[in-house]
Chains A and B, each alone.
Chain A
Amino acid sequence: MKRFILTLLAIASVIGVAACGGNNAATGGNTPGNTAAGTGGTGGEPAKKLDKLIISAIPDADADKLKAKFGDVAKYLEGKIGIPCEYMHVENYAASVAALATGKAHLVWFGGVTTVQADIQTKGMAEVVCCRDIDKKYTSYFIANVDSGIGEVKDLKELAEKAAGKKFAFGSKSSTSGHVMPRHFIVSQTGKSPEDIFGAANIGYTGSHDNTLRDVAAGTWHLGAMNYATYDKSSAELKAKAPIIYKTPKYVDYSFCAHKDIGAELIGKIREAFLSLKKGTPDGDKILGAFSAGSFETAEMSDWAGIKAIIDSGVDIGG
């Protein structure tokens, strides 16, 4: 009895200490959440001064690369806008959208679908700061295992006829280029859902583009859909085992989004900082190189209207 109460007391006192510690820390600096949220819905109102800019990104690439890449972005922005910037690595797509929508993150690198989701979830309060030059002409590849006997096809209707009943892999469920756009092109070209064509039990999600390529090459899946960038820079050996059978039409993808609550002035400064990155300068080479982009460009939320229409019409994976 005494022992247990002692243990409990020890734990309780520790938590008490933690709470006090937290309080002390709070008097020093403002917490990021307070600044952005309160003004929701009023748009034009001048925003309160931000003490720290929280940057986040969807988890679509190797974690160390992301941390290094956005660490550099944070440092660069800090020099340009004069507000401390911090990168927060998340491993969940929904968390990054929820964080932006509730003011817990201020600048987020989204994919095509997450850009639109942010627009919907913030009720139009998300603003596209910029996107890369390559994002306006993105594309996905359909690949097939070389032993599966499925050669190049001219459209997905032909694929549906040739490959009925084969095992088909998408990437992450939330991915634009690894799931939503390939699914959209399948539905729009054949009039049937992938579940109908291949059978619900033959559809799977590998979690990432790299996985899709690896597993299709290994034969775990007969067919797969993935983004062109990952495919183009992977090894020749993998490419030989999983050749491209179809390339989708072009569509828009990634963007940097900010919540309008941080103020038009600040968003302008951030946009200016990104647009001024040029090849040949040290900062420009480092950041543009990491993003494999030639430059950053301005973009409007309306550029993503195509993806918004797809999401509005409902993406149904069965169940």
Chain B
Amino acid sequence: MSTGVTTLRRYERKRPWAHWVALCIVALMVYLSFTTAEWDFTSLTDPVARGRAMDRAWALFVSFTSPDLSGEWLDECLELTLQTLAAATLGTAVAVVLAFVLAMGASRAVMVGEEKSPRWLRWFPLRSPAAAFCSLCRLILDTLRAVPDFAWAVILVVVVGLGPLAGALALALNVTGILGKVYSEFWDNVDPKQYEQLRALGTGRLGTFFYGIRPLASRSVQSFTLMRAECAIRNAAVIGAVGGGGLGAEIMYQIGFGAWAKVSTLMLFTLALTFSADMAGNFIRRQLRSDPNHPRAHKSQGTLASLSRSYIGAGFAGLVVVWSVWFMGWGNSAGYEGSTVNFMKPATELLGVQGWKNLAFFERLLSPDLDMSAWGDDPVWSIDWNPFPSDEGAAGRYMYKLENTPIDMTARYGISDVFNGDAWSAWNEELSKWFVWRVIKSAASPLAMAVIGTLLGVLMAILLTYPHSIAFQLESSQFTGESPPLWLRGLRGLQLVLARLVGLVARGVPEVMWAFLFISFFAPGLLAGAIAIALHSCGVLVRVFSETVDNIPYRRFEQSFMGSRMTCFACAAAPVSARDWMTYGFFQFESNVRMGVVLGIIGVPGLGFFFTFQFEWFQYEKAATYLLVMIGLTVLIDRISRALKLSRVG
């Protein structure tokens, strides 16, 4: 009897209420996204505006159909493509090493290890030196990815000078933040039961890490590293922002001058680069794949063949990195009339002292403007000299005027008015006198864009995954039992190619570029930004979504196949991969929040827009306040994803 009760209790605890909470939270976020930020739908609802928008979009589309194919420009584009590839590979390679080390510090399972302290105490980072160090590493990672890459680039210019190296290092810092966070999350989310024998045998923290945690998470780590590397290669707009070249920066730049013929050529090269990067990524994945149950795993291979695969994969990656160093230093022709410029040379500045001393130029970034005078701590008085003193009021010839009226939250409404709507808007108005509050409010627009964009992107990606997956298009006869005629196979093949083409274009075109296109239709605003983010996310996600589907052994479909491939996809493939999809979706949300900040630069007012302005105008104190909010936002999202254990791939 007693066992029966405990079983019931166990089921009781397992009742899936968390899903409902999650759904409610998502719904609430969508609601807030539409209410807190200003959305402008006139170009969709108003027929006149819609007509004009169509004309504009069509004109822009037409101007893309005639790329500039002159030999000179093609040479230039090829050089830019190679520069992008070299700088992005170099940046990512540096980032992988830095991220691995920092992530070891930032992972609780590695850095802190087993803890005897009660659960509630684990919320406090100062409970032990190791825990404090762990929090510090996490904060470093958060800062690295919260600061926009162009800001890193400008900061690095004073250390290593102008040139693509500064861009590549800026990219490296940013990617370090992204990779380090994800690595440490993967390691933390490995179930401790899987490596507790190691601990039981007395292995130290490093031993547990290298022989227990790391191998268990290695597939996820490898898959995510490749995904990020592909991302870095295709939209590294920061390369070239501070000298050198690079496709992304050049596209932005040419857009600025309306040179659409050149832009479309650049876009073709970007797509070619994206395609090659994806192919190379697939090649490395195939070589390093170790799962014998994978549907397309190499079966019955000799020892030599199966061993050499990993060396080929790693060797290929190493070769690309060697090539990028050579190209940056000695292989390019970026100089005047095609001479070689050694862009690696400034790296020596990193070893010297002078370059680092130059960082003092940005010292003011460390003292953010918190505008405490708004609270009345430091009243600002202005003195007006009044040549005609009236008989009443002004006693002398000088008038003292209090410039800033201190914020008084209880002036009109007291605490008892919490249920009064007017009180809230009055409080908001009063608080808006405070600069910091305005900064915090400016985070609404990137967040709103990211929420809507990610949700749309995930939905579109799920729909596109079906035609995008090899398992359901080319190899479905392996589990359906049918033997389709040649034309049907051809049709499915065509569907696959089309879906892959859509995915390739969607992710090959950078978000910023999509945003530009949609701005011509919707006019600058959140809608254009959100749709740009949705499309790009869809392209990125469909690749990893269909990869997870294709990784499912066909036996599992065989068991549940009931006559329709589509039903099988919805009822077997989707639920099996849902957990991974959620993880990737959340990663994408995180990076979309940062993208929302970046899109501010092209005229979607919000956090990024104001930060860029203050930063470029050398108003570093104010820029620092915006940075603080950006870092705060990143920390918040990071801690939530860690608490919910959202990152568990594979």
> What distance in Å separates the Cβ of A297 from its nearest Cβ neighbour in chain B?
27
In the assembled complex, 7 residue pairs joining A and B whose CB atoms fall closer than 8 Å, in A order, are A14-B325, A26-B345, A34-B354, A94-B615, A98-B157, A102-B361, A220-B523
Q: Across the interface, do B154 and A88 meet the contact criterion of CB distance under 8 Å? A: no
Q: Across the interface, do A95 and B317 meet the contact criterion of CB distance under 8 Å? A: no
B621 contacts partner chain A, Cβ-Cβ < 8 Å: no
Roughly how many angstroms separate A217 CA and B519 CA in the complex, as a whole number?
A: 15
From 231 to 246 in chain B, residues with beta carbon under 8 angstroms from any chain A beta carbon are 240-245
Roughly how many angstroms separate A197 CA and B344 CA in the complex, as a whole number?
A: 50
Q: Across the interface, do B354 and A37 meet the contact criterion of CB distance under 8 Å? A: yes
Roughly how many angstroms separate A8 CA and B90 CA in the complex, as a whole number?
A: 14
Residues of B within 8 A of A87 (CB): 336
A229 contacts partner chain B, Cβ-Cβ < 8 Å: no
User: Interface 1/0s, chain B 303-323, versus A by CB < 8 A?
Assistant: 000000011011101100110
Residues of B within 8 A of A207 (CB): 255-256, 602-603
Among A11, A23, A86, A89, the residue within 8 A (CB) of B321 is A11
B61 contacts partner chain A, Cβ-Cβ < 8 Å: no
B189 contacts partner chain A, Cβ-Cβ < 8 Å: no
Q: Across the interface, do B336 and A91 meet the contact criterion of CB distance under 8 Å? A: no
Q: Across the interface, do A61 and B97 meet the contact criterion of CB distance under 8 Å? A: no
Chain A residue nearest in CB terms to B525: A201
From 247 to 297 in chain A, residues with beta carbon under 8 angstroms from any chain B beta carbon are none
Q: Across the interface, do B318 and A105 meet the contact criterion of CB distance under 8 Å? A: no
Roughly how many angstroms separate A23 CA and B311 CA in the complex, as a whole number?
A: 30
> What distance in Å separates the Cβ of B62 from its nearest Cβ neighbour in chain A?
13
Q: Across the interface, do A91 and B161 meet the contact criterion of CB distance under 8 Å? A: no
Q: Across the interface, do B259 and A95 meet the contact criterion of CB distance under 8 Å? A: no
A211 contacts partner chain B, Cβ-Cβ < 8 Å: yes
Chain A residue nearest in CB terms to B240: A91
> What distance in Å separates the Cβ of A302 from its nearest Cβ neighbour in chain B?
21
Residues of B within 8 A of A172 (CB): 256
Roughly how many angstroms separate A319 CA and B317 CA in the complex, as a whole number?
A: 45
> What distance in Å separates the Cβ of B597 from its nearest Cβ neighbour in chain A?
13
Q: Across the interface, do B161 and A319 meet the contact criterion of CB distance under 8 Å? A: no
Roughly how many angstroms separate A174 CA and B614 CA in the complex, as a whole number?
A: 10
Residues of B within 8 A of A165 (CB): none
B110 contacts partner chain A, Cβ-Cβ < 8 Å: no
Residues of B within 8 A of A2 (CB): 310
> What distance in Å separates the Cβ of B158 from its nearest Cβ neighbour in chain A?
4
Known A-B contacts A1-B214, A4-B214, A10-B321; the reply to A90 vs B241 at CB < 8 A is yes
Roughly how many angstroms separate A14 CA and B97 CA in the complex, as a whole number?
A: 11
Q: Across the interface, do B243 and A90 meet the contact criterion of CB distance under 8 Å? A: yes
Roughly how many angstroms separate A59 CA and B616 CA in the complex, as a whole number?
A: 13
Known A-B contacts A10-B318, A22-B344; the reply to A61 vs B214 at CB < 8 A is no
Q: Across the interface, do B161 and A104 meet the contact criterion of CB distance under 8 Å? A: yes
Residues of A within 8 A of B103 (CB): none
Roughly how many angstroms separate A101 CA and B360 CA in the complex, as a whole number?
A: 11
Among A10, A92, A167, the residue within 8 A (CB) of B154 is A92
Residues of A within 8 A of B250 (CB): 63
Q: Across the interface, do A89 and B93 meet the contact criterion of CB distance under 8 Å? A: no
Q: Across the interface, do B310 and A3 meet the contact criterion of CB distance under 8 Å? A: yes
Roughly how many angstroms separate A25 CA and B612 CA in the complex, as a whole number?
A: 36
Q: Across the interface, do A91 and B241 meet the contact criterion of CB distance under 8 Å? A: yes
A64 contacts partner chain B, Cβ-Cβ < 8 Å: yes
From 133 to 180 in chain A, residues with beta carbon under 8 angstroms from any chain B beta carbon are 167, 172-174
Roughly how many angstroms separate A210 CA and B603 CA in the complex, as a whole number?
A: 16
Roughly how many angstroms separate A201 CA and B605 CA in the complex, as a whole number?
A: 8
Q: Across the interface, do A25 and B241 meet the contact criterion of CB distance under 8 Å? A: no
Given contacts A89-B244, A98-B158, A220-B519, 12 further A-B contacts (CB under 8 A): A1-B214, A7-B317, A7-B318, A14-B325, A22-B348, A25-B342, A31-B346, A90-B243, A93-B616, A121-B361, A174-B616, A211-B257
> What distance in Å separates the Cβ of B619 from its nearest Cβ neighbour in chain A?
9
Q: Across the interface, do A25 and B154 meet the contact criterion of CB distance under 8 Å? A: no
User: Interface 1/0s, chain A 65-107, versus B by CB < 8 A?
Assistant: 0000001001100000000001111111111011101111100
From 220 to 276 in chain B, residues with beta carbon under 8 angstroms from any chain A beta carbon are 221-222, 240-245, 249-250, 252-259
Q: Across the interface, do A23 and B348 meet the contact criterion of CB distance under 8 Å? A: yes
A317 contacts partner chain B, Cβ-Cβ < 8 Å: yes
Chain B residue nearest in CB terms to A122: B361
Q: Across the interface, do A95 and B257 meet the contact criterion of CB distance under 8 Å? A: no
> What distance in Å separates the Cβ of A23 from its nearest Cβ neighbour in chain B?
6
Roughly how many angstroms separate A14 CA and B328 CA in the complex, as a whole number?
A: 13
Please list the 9 inter-chain residue pairs (A to B) with the smallest Cβ-Cβ separation, ordered nearest first: A10-B318, A319-B610, A88-B162, A102-B158, A26-B348, A208-B256, A104-B161, A22-B347, A94-B616
> What distance in Å separates the Cβ of A123 from its nearest Cβ neighbour in chain B?
11
Chain B, interface size category, equals 35 or more
Roughly how many angstroms separate A129 CA and B241 CA in the complex, as a whole number?
A: 26
Chain B residue nearest in CB terms to A29: B345
Known A-B contacts A8-B100, A92-B154; the reply to A56 vs B162 at CB < 8 A is yes
B59 contacts partner chain A, Cβ-Cβ < 8 Å: yes
B residues within 8 Å of A by Cβ?
38, 52, 56, 59, 76, 90, 93-94, 96-97, 100, 150, 153-154, 157-158, 161-163, 210-211, 214-215, 218, 221-222, 240-245, 249-250, 252-259, 288, 290, 310-311, 313-315, 317-318, 321-322, 325, 329, 335-337, 341-342, 344-349, 351-352, 354-355, 357-358, 361, 438-439, 442, 519-520, 523-524, 602-603, 605, 609-610, 612-613, 615-618
A305 contacts partner chain B, Cβ-Cβ < 8 Å: no
Roughly how many angstroms separate A25 CA and B93 CA in the complex, as a whole number?
A: 22
Q: Across the interface, do B618 and A92 meet the contact criterion of CB distance under 8 Å? A: no
From 9 to 23 in chain A, residues with beta carbon under 8 angstroms from any chain B beta carbon are 10-15, 17-19, 21-23
Residues of A within 8 A of B605 (CB): 200-201, 319
> What distance in Å separates the Cβ of B646 from its nearest Cβ neighbour in chain A?
23
> What distance in Å separates the Cβ of A127 from its nearest Cβ neighbour in chain B?
19
Roughly how many angstroms separate A210 CA and B157 CA in the complex, as a whole number?
A: 28
Q: Across the interface, do A31 and B348 meet the contact criterion of CB distance under 8 Å? A: yes
Chain B residue nearest in CB terms to A1: B215
Roughly how many angstroms separate A134 CA and B76 CA in the complex, as a whole number?
A: 32
> What distance in Å separates the Cβ of A135 from its nearest Cβ neighbour in chain B?
21
> What distance in Å separates the Cβ of A165 from its nearest Cβ neighbour in chain B?
14
A205 contacts partner chain B, Cβ-Cβ < 8 Å: yes
Q: Across the interface, do B603 and A206 meet the contact criterion of CB distance under 8 Å? A: yes
Q: Across the interface, do B355 and A33 meet the contact criterion of CB distance under 8 Å? A: yes
Q: Across the interface, do A95 and B256 meet the contact criterion of CB distance under 8 Å? A: no
Chain A residue nearest in CB terms to B339: A86
Among B96, B243, B345, the residue within 8 A (CB) of A22 is B345
> What distance in Å separates the Cβ of B157 from its nearest Cβ neighbour in chain A?
5
Q: Across the interface, do A98 and B241 meet the contact criterion of CB distance under 8 Å? A: no
> What distance in Å separates the Cβ of B478 from its nearest Cβ neighbour in chain A?
28
A227 contacts partner chain B, Cβ-Cβ < 8 Å: no
Roughly how many angstroms separate A87 CA and B361 CA in the complex, as a whole number?
A: 23
A193 contacts partner chain B, Cβ-Cβ < 8 Å: no
Q: Across the interface, do A62 and B259 meet the contact criterion of CB distance under 8 Å? A: yes
Chain A residue nearest in CB terms to B315: A10
Known A-B contacts A6-B310, A89-B243; the reply to A220 vs B520 at CB < 8 A is yes
Residues of A within 8 A of B218 (CB): 1, 3-4
Roughly how many angstroms separate A86 CA and B214 CA in the complex, as a whole number?
A: 47
A115 contacts partner chain B, Cβ-Cβ < 8 Å: no
> What distance in Å separates the Cβ of A70 from its nearest Cβ neighbour in chain B?
10
Among A37, A120, A318, the residue within 8 A (CB) of B618 is A120
Q: Across the interface, do B329 and A21 meet the contact criterion of CB distance under 8 Å? A: yes
Among B97, B349, B617, the residue within 8 A (CB) of A31 is B349
A43 contacts partner chain B, Cβ-Cβ < 8 Å: no
Q: Across the interface, do A104 and B325 meet the contact criterion of CB distance under 8 Å? A: no
Q: Across the interface, do A7 and B314 meet the contact criterion of CB distance under 8 Å? A: yes
> What distance in Å separates the Cβ of B332 from its nearest Cβ neighbour in chain A?
14
Known A-B contacts A31-B349, A99-B157; the reply to A173 vs B325 at CB < 8 A is no
Residues of A within 8 A of B211 (CB): 1
A239 contacts partner chain B, Cβ-Cβ < 8 Å: no
Q: Across the interface, do A21 and B344 meet the contact criterion of CB distance under 8 Å? A: yes
Roughly how many angstroms separate A117 CA and B619 CA in the complex, as a whole number?
A: 11
Residues of A within 8 A of B358 (CB): 33, 37, 102-104
Among B161, B259, B321, the residue within 8 A (CB) of A99 is B161
Q: Across the interface, do A61 and B257 meet the contact criterion of CB distance under 8 Å? A: yes
